[in-house]
Amino acid sequence: MTQLFTLLKISDGLAIQFGADGLGRMFLCLDTVMWILVGIYAFKYKEHMKHTKRFFAFYLLTYLMLAALSMAANYLTMYLCFEFMTLLSMPMVLQDGTPESIAAARKYLMYSIFGATLGLLGFFFSAHYGAGTVFTPGGLLDPAKVAGNESKLLVVAFLSIAGFSAKAGMFPLHAWLPTAHPVAPAPASAVLSGVITKAGVLCILRVMYQVYGASFLAGTWVQKALIVLSLITVFMGSMMAYGEDLLKRRLAYSTVSQVSYVLFGVFTLHPVALLGALLHVIYHSIIKDGLFLGAGAVIFTNHKEYVSQLHGMGKRMPVTFGCFTVCSLGLIGIPPFAGFLSKWYLAAGSLSEGLPVLSWLGPAVLLLSALLTAGYLLPISIHGFFPGEGEKEAEGKEAPFQMLFPMLVLALGVVVFGVFAQPLADALLRIAEAMF
């Protein structure tokens, strides 16, 4: 951490502190850009929503808490910001006030608070066995205090990391995502999937690399168990998305799978895989925001929510479906679109790590998931632009420009960050190497 700002000192070992390391700045920039673009879209989409003032109030407050979370300098600050971010984002899920949205918001809250409670367990143990409280590259544990207590700390590390993974949608704490996304307004779904799930990733990065340290966890049962859970989630999410007809739920299951690509890279504890994970954090945010905004444009303009209703819709909404197609190609990982390079580094890092079985199983699962991703995304574009003979073409019209503009920017980002990826990769590599 750079120079710290202490907002409130509770006692000698407890303080609300903020700082700006490379990892925090990366997440802050990402959150800000995505929030602005989705906000521009939301000002038009609000015509499709109830209680718009309430939505934008919580939309702004959630961003402020995400910004604070990015800058959190110790475990206590991170935990408090994480909990407040959950409480402030929950009203965006229940925005419509229907029984389904209320139930989804309750589920989102239950999973998030349960996960954060497990994360809080790690705070107590890190405070007791740590040499300090400020996040430290390589970990803050005191070797003298840890000696003889390694087994206990590994259990706590697993529980706290698994707890924060609820926000990231990792199995078995993933079920809130496919429930919350279909009922939330499209702008809320976009930031839930593209940004808020990454809050869980940020907390996991802090806990693994700056509390316990990669050297403490590498090769342990904790690392192997987390890798297995992430790979299960990657495959399961892709399979569930493949068979889902409701468009926003299909994209939600896709998020379950794709964010676990990131977690797989984080759990590999290798600099190259971690670089792939950080790249995929950015790429997935850009891509998935674009996909959800595209789905929202179809719902807003033409009131169609199911994939089976979209045959021929690409002819009616060429810009929307063009952006959707570009984002789909990026999510699949087809070069030169953004998404290919991150998956390349994830596979390369896994193969370099040398864990028995898992080092090659990881890339194999990622490849299988990419094929499934093509299977559940490309048919939307193919049938949208080229409906089959005898298929009834949907009626519809293009979305307003205020909604198209953010989608065009995001689609352009998928191309630019794929073709000119090296400057971003170099910057993120420095952040990844500093974590060790």
pTM for the structure as a whole = 0.95
How confident is the model over 261-275, as pLDDT tens digits?
A: 999 999 999 999 999
Residue 415 has pLDDT above 80, yes or no: yes
In which residue are the tokens 């990366």 written?
A: 26
DSSP code, position 357: T
φ/ψ (deg, to 5) at 243: -100, 10
Q: How far is residue 166's CA from residue 229's CA, in Å, rounded to a whole number?
A: 12
> Do 293 and 190 meet the contact criterion of CB atoms below 8 Å apart?
yes
Q: How far is residue 125's CA from residue 22's CA, in Å, rounded to a whole number?
A: 26
φ/ψ (deg, to 5) at 279: -60, -40
How confident is the model over 154-180, as pLDDT tens digits?
A: 999 999 999 999 999 999 999 999 999
**Across residues 409-429, what is the average pLDDT?**
95
Residue 393 has pLDDT above 70, yes or no: no
Structure confidence at residue 343 as a pLDDT band (50, 70, 90): very high
Report the amino acid identity of residue 235. F
pLDDT in the model for residue 102 = 92
Return the structure tokens found at 266. 């984080």
Counts for the chain of helices (H) and strands (E), in that order: 19, 2
φ/ψ (deg, to 5) at 96: -75, -20
Q: What percent of the chain is predicted at pLDDT more than 90?
A: 80
Q: How far is residue 174's CA from residue 261's CA, in Å, rounded to a whole number?
A: 14
Residues paired with 17 in a beta bridge:
6
